[in-house]
């Protein structure tokens, strides 16, 4: 069973900022939070990872509050090509990393 | 960039055939994984390997075996393919098992067993 909870799907329009929130109420002290993106007929791709506070890279920002029981992936100004499934994971090590169903983001023109 | 290459994009096999899925990574990663992905079930771990000739069962190893004779190559074997093994198979690799580990995936092999 996935240890994280995230919305099943979200819709957005091009140019909007999209925030996907993930709940991980029982996250372990050492676990990182990692987000992956998956396009149809491709393998998941690493987007961003963090432990606490805020992390930003060229693709997204990740906000993790002090209690670490949730995290928010922020995609600035989405385009049609950002339509994908986004997975939030607690990183307990590769063979223990569990992928849930993810959030299906659909970006409309 | 890390590259994880799966030998086939699409495969069609018959029930009872022995099937080999090959995966090669070019970044000297210790860990390699095989997942299957089915609609509504997400990614499920079949087997993983943390070193040459080492293997560990994942969540759904029944009907599968693996081989890792060289560090860069991890093979998934379906001893006698069945229709319920029709799925997307994803190979992944990572540098080391740790709390900040990142998985690198191949493009997947869509296997159909008829």
Q: Which one is predicted more confidently, B40 or B27?
A: B27
Contact A94 B101 (CB under 8 A): yes
A72-109 pLDDT per residue, tens: 999 999 999 999 999 998 876 556 677 878 999 999 99
The whole-number pLDDT of residue A100 equals 79
Q: List strands edge to edge, sheet with A9-13.
A: A9-13, A103-108, A84-91, A32-38, A45-50
Contact B40 A101 (CB under 8 A): yes
Q: In this model, does residue A4 exceed pLDDT 70?
A: yes
Contact B99 A91 (CB under 8 A): yes
Q: In this model, does residue B2 exceed pLDDT 70?
A: no
Given CB atoms, is B99 within the 8 Å cutoff of chain A? yes
- Cα–Cα–Cα angle for B57, B59, B64, nearest 5°? 55
Q: What percent of chain A has pLDDT over 70?
A: 94
Q: Which one is predicted more confidently, B57 or A26?
A: B57
The rounded distance, in Å, linking the Cα atoms of B109 and B20 is 11
Confidence of residue A31 (pLDDT cuts 50, 70, 90): confident
The whole-number pLDDT of residue A99 equals 81
Q: In this model, does residue B98 exceed pLDDT 80?
A: no
User: Stretch A8-32: mean pLDDT, rounded?
Assistant: 92
The whole-number pLDDT of residue A71 equals 95
Q: List the one residue out of B88, B71, B58, B74 whose CA is nearest residue A96.
A: B58
Facing B99 at nearest CB: one of A31, A95, A99: A31
DSSP one-letter string for chain B? ---EEES-SEEEE-TT--EEEEEEESS--SEEEEEEEETTTEEEEEEEESSTT--EE-S--TTEEEEEEETTEEEEEESS--GGG-EEEEEEEES--STT---EE---EEEEE-
Contact A101 B42 (CB under 8 A): yes
User: Stretch B62-69: mean pLDDT, rounded?
Assistant: 96
CA–CA distance from A93 to each of A52, B70, B98, B99 (Å)? 18, 22, 5, 5
Q: Which of A16-20, A96-100, B60-64 has the lowest mean pLDDT?
A: A96-100
Contact B102 A49 (CB under 8 A): yes
Q: Would you say B114 and B83 are in contact if contact means Cβ atoms under 8 Å apart? A: yes
Q: Would you say B77 and B19 are in contact if contact means Cβ atoms under 8 Å apart? A: yes
Evaluated on CA atoms A30, B95, B52, B36, the torsion sign reads positive
Residues of A with Cβ-Cβ distance to B42 under 8 angstroms: 2, 99-102
Q: In this model, does residue A48 exceed pLDDT 70?
A: yes
In the predicted model, what is the mean pLDDT of chain A? 90
Q: In this model, does residue A2 exceed pLDDT 70?
A: no
**Residue of B94, B99, B108 to mutate when probing chain A, most A C-beta within 10 A:** B99
């Amino acid at each position: 069973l996935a240890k994280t909870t995230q919305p099943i799907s979200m819709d957005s329009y091009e140019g909007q900022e999209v925030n996907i929130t993930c709940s991980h109420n029982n996250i372990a002290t050492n676990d990182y939070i990692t987000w992956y993106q998956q396009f149809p007929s491709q393998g998941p791709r690493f987007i961003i990872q963090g432990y606490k506070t805020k992390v930003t890279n060229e693709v997204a920002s990740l906000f993790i509050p002090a209690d670490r029981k949730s995290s928010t992936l922020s995609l600035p100004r989405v385009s049609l090509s950002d339509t994908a499934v986004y997975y939030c994971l607690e990183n307990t090590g590769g063979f223990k990393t569990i992928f849930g169903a993810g959030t299906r983001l659909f970006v409309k023109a | 960039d890390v590259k994880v290459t799966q030998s086939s994009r699409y495969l069609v096999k018959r029930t009872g055939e022995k099937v080999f899925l090959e995966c090669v990574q070019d970044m000297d990663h210790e860990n390699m994984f095989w997942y299957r992905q089915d609609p509504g079930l997400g990614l499920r771990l079949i087997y993983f390997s943390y070193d040459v000739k080492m293997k560990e069962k994942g969540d759904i190893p029944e009907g599968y075996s693996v081989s890792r004779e060289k560090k860069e190559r991890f093979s998934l074997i379906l001893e006698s393919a069945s229709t319920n093994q029709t799925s997307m198979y994803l190979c992944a690799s990572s540098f080391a098992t740790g709390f900040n580990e990142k998985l690198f995936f191949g493009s997947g092999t869509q296997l159909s067993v008829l």
